[in-house]
Amino acid sequence: MQDFLSKWGEAAYTTSGFFWMALWAFALGYVISSCIQVFVTEKKMQETMGKGEGKGVLLGTFFGFISSSCSFAALASTKSLFKKGASFISSIAFLLASTNLVIELGIIISIFLGWQFVVGEYVGGLILILISWLLVRIINPKKLIKKARERLNSEDDEEDSSKSWKKKMKSETGWAKVAQQYGMEWKMVWKDVSVGFTVAGIVAAFVPDSFFETLFINSGEGTTDFGFFTILEHIVVGPVAAFLTFIGSMGNIPLAALLFGKGVSFAGVMAFIFSDLVVFPILRINAKYYGWKMSFFILFLLFASLVGASLALHYGFDLLGMLPDPSSVKIQDSEYFKIDYTFWLNMAFLAISGYLVYLGFFKRDDVMFMKEMAPKSKILEKTLKYLAFACYIWLAGGLIVKFFVA
């Protein structure tokens, strides 16, 4: 019993520390994301992404880079761009870029995993797009694409594009919309982040290394020499682990750091991070938009690209002597809450967040702004909501045990 209480307290403290480490990064990323989503309209994207395959892919990648990292927002924007004239592959490029090349994800990865994984995330995102482009050109699924486009309804989404981004930035209404979108960003991810960070803390405290050594063959702390088939197994198991713990790309990063610290290969961890678009909720939404045949084709396309990108990153980094050292990832640190740069950054962004809440929800209540979202499963969302509340109870109990009981 005493051992359980001790681990409970440690798990709750670790989760709290994880979130404290990442708080300013979340806030910074969502401020940037909210500004871009308000000031950059989809109209110009739609007009340019359909003009030429190569140019469309480049523009889709760029627009995805400056777009939201939320998978459900990315799915809705991708659908909107595709039905309004963007080519299929440029839409896929946008989808991959908007979930793998975004700024806030890179910041979170840098905190928990280090610069090599940040480089891997961005370079890997580009490789994902290139492999997908190559596969589409080889397979050439014209009938699938035609049917998918016909399936989408022809109603245009209303969008205020009458003002230039410069005028929007100078108006109070524009910044009120930024504030409301900032609130929506948090509303979209709070459940995923709560559950994801709690799971990471529980895994860190309760799950023995032998479990990871069984799940990911030939892994273990201090292991760095992997054969090809071992790396391939890690890459395949990574998405399976992401499927079982589907808590969004942002919430999964602490767990990815734990996997790497437990001896999972660089390729396996990158595959785990890349897997947010090959899980069942995404498959279901794509089927709702485009039909099941196209949804399974997109799944095949993204999974094959994920395998290729992860292999290319691992052997490319190995060739350049850039493979990260698992011992350098130390996220189970007992001094999370010290007065350092993290503390001051958190204080600054808490103040900014407070002002945005005031501006968006109290000062300008006549302004309404919301980006289109993909249709989420009500059952899944309700389950995540209850799980998030259970996580708060678990964390509160664990912190009480750590500081007042154990």
- HEC readout, the chain: CHHHHHHHHHHHHHHHHHHHHHHHHHHHHHHHHHHHHHHCCHHHHHHHHCCCHHHHHHHHHHHHHCCCCCHHHHHHHHHHHHHCCCCHHHHHHHHHHHHHCCHHHHHHHHHHCCHHHHHHHHHHHHHHHHHHHHHHHHHCCHHHHHHHHHHCCCCCCCCCCCCCHHHHHHCHHHHHHHHHHHHHHHHHHHHHHHHHHHHHHHHHHHCCHHHHHHHCCCCCCCCCCCCHHHHHHHHHHHHHHHHHCCCHHHHHHHHHHHHHHCCCCHHHHHHHHHHHHCCHHHHHHHHHHHCHHHHHHHHHHHHHHHHHHHHHHHHHHHHCCCCCCHHHCCCCCCCCCCCCHHHHHHHHHHHHHHHHHHHHHHHCCCCCCCCCCCCCCHHHHHHHHHHHHHHHHHHHHHHHHHHHHC
Across 15-24, 120-129, 157-166, 261-270, which has the greatest mean pLDDT?
Answer: 120-129
The candidate with the shortest Cα–Cα distance to 264, out of 334, 179, 207, is: 207
**Mean pLDDT of the chain, nearest integer:** 80
Residue positions counted in the chain: 406
**Does pLDDT of 19 surpass 70?**
yes
Q: Rounded to an integer, what distance in angstroms lies between the CA atom of residue 335 and that of residue 340?
A: 11
- Asked which of 280-284, 322-326, 370-374 is least confident by mean pLDDT, the reply is 370-374
Percent of the residues in the chain that have a pLDDT greater than 70, as a whole number: 80
Angle between helices 341-358 and 2-39 (to 10 degrees): 50
How many other C-beta atoms are found inside a 10 Å radius of the C-beta of residue 110? 17
Q: Which of 313, 323, 340, 308 is nearest to 114 (CA)?
A: 323
Report residue 8 as tokens.
Answer: 């409970």
Model pLDDT, residue 190:
82
pLDDT in tens, 73-105: 777 778 877 877 788 898 899 899 988 887 778
- Asked if 363 and 68 count as a contact pair (C-beta separation under 8 A), the reply is no
Highest-confidence segment of 202-211, 239-248, 348-357: 348-357
* C-alpha to C-alpha distances, 79 to 21, 37, 43, 83, 153, nearest whole angstrom: 35, 16, 14, 6, 10
CA distance 287 to 377: 13
Residue of 395, 23, 342, 335 lying closest to 201 (CA atoms): 395
d(CA 50, CA 68) in angstroms, rounded, equals 21
| CA pair distance 271, 283, nearest whole angstrom | 18
Rounded Cα–Cα distance for residues 4 and 11 (Å):
10
Name the residue type at position 151: R
Joined tokens for residue 373: 């979202």
Token pair recorded at residue 289: 């938009």
pLDDT of residue 372 exceeding 80: no
| pLDDT confidence of residue 155 | 45
Round to whole Å and give the CA distance between 96 and 277: 8
* Count of CB atoms situated within 10 Å of the CB of 205: 19
Q: What is the rounded CA–CA span in Å between residue 288 and residue 303?
A: 20
Query: pLDDT of 329-369, one tens digit each?
Result: 766 555 778 887 788 988 998 999 898 888 877 655 555 55
Cα 174 to the center of its chain, rounded Å? 26
Of 10-19, 74-83, 215-224, 225-234, which range is least confident? 215-224
Tokens matching residue 69: 């990292």
Question: For residue range 309-318, what is the model confidence (pLDDT) as tens digits?
Answer: 999 999 999 9
pTM for the complete prediction? Answer: 0.73
* Pair of tokens at residue 370: 């919301």
Residue 102 CA: distances (Å) to CA of 38, 45, 244? 16, 17, 24
Higher per-residue confidence, 298 vs 98: 298
pLDDT band at 221 (very low <50, low <70, confident <90, very high): low
Q: Judge whether residue 202 has pLDDT over 80.
A: yes
Which sequence spans correspond to the domains of the chain? 2-151+167-405
Higher-confidence residue: 120 or 152? 120
Question: Which backbone phi and psi does 88 adopt, to 5 degrees?
Answer: -60, -45
The pLDDT tens digits of the residues spanning 132-191 come to 999 999 998 889 988 888 887 644 444 454 455 566 666 667 778 888 878 877 877 788
